[in-house]
């Protein structure tokens, strides 16, 4: 189309857009090599607010100047596609390079910011250009009551809100880890540099429980401890509802009894005792050539020693250690402003929202397992989160309309 046109002659198309975007990426690389990575804390409150207002002012200005050659180009598809191409290119570099929080060895790639792509100047510059170009493009388009406009506006505003609030809000986002002993209240946390900080929010841990999966049975080589067969270990799931038997080298192994919370008695049998030091135990029977023997086995824990069963001089039947199914904290939360929140079932995937804070179940004392005396939480402070959610909601609606309408060709 513009083949006859000389480069830099208006209107600008792909040649100019690609040249400018490449230039900006190169400037980004040079900035990176000379002054180091982009410091997101330059954008912490209130500077992100100022920057946000400036961006909005730019977008409003673009509406008034939309017939100027510069803004026609700035909101053109050629420029958009070039920016999309640049962010894809930088992401491919990011996808192929290991991303690290701290660079310990400098080389040409670290110098250009490849190992910390999202805080590299090239990435940040393209990101903000995208934000401005997208904003101006949305503002330029005249609202109409058509399917096309609806799909356009939902998808583009949704994306713009996400980019705007996730990008500018990033430096206001804070994450802390808090360890709380059962029965105690805590407000001191560790920040990302492992420094102790006091927060305006306190958590009282009333109780902490771990639910465990029912363990499996396995046959091991007594000398090496390896699960057999070596190349393809077999694990037999204990299932009290099933009468299925587990056969190994002609030995028939059958489950006779299973206790999830068991404590060993003096005669080496197990009884159901619902206490924290209990562990799963099973009574199993092994049959081979009319010889029958049964025995209790258990994987044990910090308080109880494991029990296994000799099959013959080389083989033994063991129980696998229990894997956690869920870990649940019962907490009460107090904030300095007098807020009070309560959650009896705080667990992974089910955080508690407390004002602008969100509290996540993080971990526990892995060595002690069920007997852990503390529970740990991740506290995330993200004041702009709701705006990102609005963006996600609009984008989801827009995506749904794409599925229903498709490209929506006019007849």
Q: 88 or 268: whose CB is closer to other proteins?
A: 88
Q: Is 27 a binder of other proteins (CB under 8 A)? A: no
**Residue 148: left if φ>0, alpha if ψ -120 to 50, beta else—which one?**
alpha
Q: 224 or 349: whose CB is closer to other proteins?
A: 349
Q: Considering only residues 94, 122, 132, 311, which one is a binding residue for other proteins as defined by CB under 8 A?
A: 94
Q: Considering only residues 85, 300, 306, 321, which one is a binding residue for other proteins as defined by CB under 8 A?
A: 85
Q: At its nearest, how many Å lie between other proteins and the CB of residue 226?
A: 21
Q: At its nearest, how many Å lie between other proteins and the CB of residue 271?
A: 25
Stretch touching other proteins by CB under 8 A, among 18-26, 296-304, 317-325, 338-346: 317-325
Of how many residues is the chain composed? 411
What number of chain residues touch other proteins (CB under 8 A)?
Answer: 53
Residues 6+ apart with CB under 8 A from 271: 259, 262, 263, 265
C-alpha distances in angstroms, 292 versus 95, 179, 268?
58, 50, 19
340 to 379: interface string for other proteins, x by CB under 8 A: -------xxxxx------x-x-----------------x-
- Quote the CA–CA distance of 133 and 159 in Å, as a whole number: 12
What would the DSSP string read from start to end of 155-204? HHHHHHHHHHHHHHHGGG-EEEEEEEETT-EEEEEE-TTS-EEEEEEEEE
Q: Is 192 a binder of other proteins (CB under 8 A)? A: no
Half-sphere exposure for 105 (CA within 13 Å, toward CB): 2
Q: Is 327 a binder of other proteins (CB under 8 A)? A: yes
> What six digits make up the tokens of 247?
């056969």
Q: Is 138 a binder of other proteins (CB under 8 A)? A: no
Q: Considering only residues 44, 55, 110, 118, which one is a binding residue for other proteins as defined by CB under 8 A?
A: 118
251 to 280: interface string for other proteins, x by CB under 8 A: ------------------------------
Q: Assign 3-state DSSP to the chain and report helix, strand, coil percentages, each to 5.
A: 35, 30, 35
Chain centroid offset of residue 242 CA: 37
At residue 179, φ and ψ (nearest 5 deg) are -105, 125
- Quote the CA–CA distance of 377 and 350 in Å, as a whole number: 12
Q: Quick check: helix, strand or coil at residue 365? A: coil
Residue numbers 65-84 binding other proteins by CB under 8 A: 77-78, 80-81, 84
Q: Considering only residues 166, 218, 309, 352, which one is a binding residue for other proteins as defined by CB under 8 A?
A: 166
Q: At its nearest, how many Å lie between other proteins and the CB of residue 192?
A: 13
Q: At what angle do helices 385-405 and 147-169 cross, to 10 degrees?
A: 150
Q: Considering only residues 181, 184, 239, 312, which one is a binding residue for other proteins as defined by CB under 8 A?
A: 239
Q: Quick check: helix, strand or coil at residue 198? A: strand
Q: Is 232 a binder of other proteins (CB under 8 A)? A: no
- Quote the CA–CA distance of 160 and 220 in Å, as a whole number: 57
CB of 206 closer than 8 Å to CB of 181 = no
Q: Is 402 a binder of other proteins (CB under 8 A)? A: yes
Which residues make up the interface to other proteins (CB under 8 A)?
77-78, 80-81, 84-85, 87-88, 91-92, 94-99, 117-118, 166, 175, 213-214, 237, 239, 323-327, 347-351, 358, 360, 378, 380, 388, 392, 395-396, 398-407, 409
């Amino acid at each position: 189309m513009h083949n006859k046109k000389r480069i830099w002659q208006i209107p600008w198309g792909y040649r100019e857009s690609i040249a400018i975007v490449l230039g900006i990426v190169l400037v980004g690389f040079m900035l990176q090599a000379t002054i180091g990575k982009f410091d997101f804390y330059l954008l912490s409150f209130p500077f992100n607010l100022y920057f946000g207002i400036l961006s909005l002012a730019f977008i409003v200005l673009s509406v008034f100047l939309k017939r100027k050659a510069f803004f026609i180009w700035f909101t053109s598809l050629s420029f958009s596609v070039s920016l999309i191409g640049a962010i894809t290119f930088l992401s491919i570099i990011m996808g192929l390079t290991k991303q690290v929080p701290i660079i310990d060895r400098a080389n040409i790639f670290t110098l250009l910011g490849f190992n910390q792509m999202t805080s590299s100047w090239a990435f940040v510059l393209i990101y903000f250009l995208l934000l401005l170009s997208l904003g101006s493009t949305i503002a330029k388009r005249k609202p109409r009551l058509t399917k096309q406009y609806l799909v356009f506006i939902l998808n583009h505003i949704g994306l713009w809100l996400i980019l705007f609030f996730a990008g500018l809000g990033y430096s206001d986002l804070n994450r802390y880890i808090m360890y709380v002993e059962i029965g105690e209240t805590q407000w001191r946390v560790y920040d990302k540099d492992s420094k102790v900080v006091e927060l305006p929010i306190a958590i009282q841990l009333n109780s902490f429980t771990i639910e465990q999966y029912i363990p499996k049975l396995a046959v091991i080589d007594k000398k090496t401890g390896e699960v057999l067969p070596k190349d393809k270990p077999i694990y037999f799931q204990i299932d009290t509802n099933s009468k299925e038997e587990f056969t190994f080298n002609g030995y028939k192994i059958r489950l006779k009894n299973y206790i999830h919370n068991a404590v060993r008695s003096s005669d080496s049998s197990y009884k159901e005792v619902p206490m924290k030091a209990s562990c799963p135990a099973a009574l199993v029977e092994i049959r081979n050539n009319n010889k029958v023997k049964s025995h209790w086995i258990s994987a044990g824990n910090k308080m109880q020693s494991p029990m296994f069963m000799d099959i013959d001089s080389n083989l033994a039947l063991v129980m696998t250690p229990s894997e956690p199914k869920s870990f649940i904290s019962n907490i009460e939360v107090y904030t300095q402003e007098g807020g009070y929140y309560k959650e009896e079932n705080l667990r992974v995937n089910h955080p508690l929202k407390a004002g602008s804070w969100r509290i996540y179940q993080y971990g526990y004392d892995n060595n002690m397992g069920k007997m852990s005396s503390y529970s740990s939480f991740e506290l995330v402070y993200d004041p702009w989160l709701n705006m990102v959610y609005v963006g996600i909601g609009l984008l989801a609606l827009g995506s749904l309309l794409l599925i229903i309408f498709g490209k929506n060709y006019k007849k």
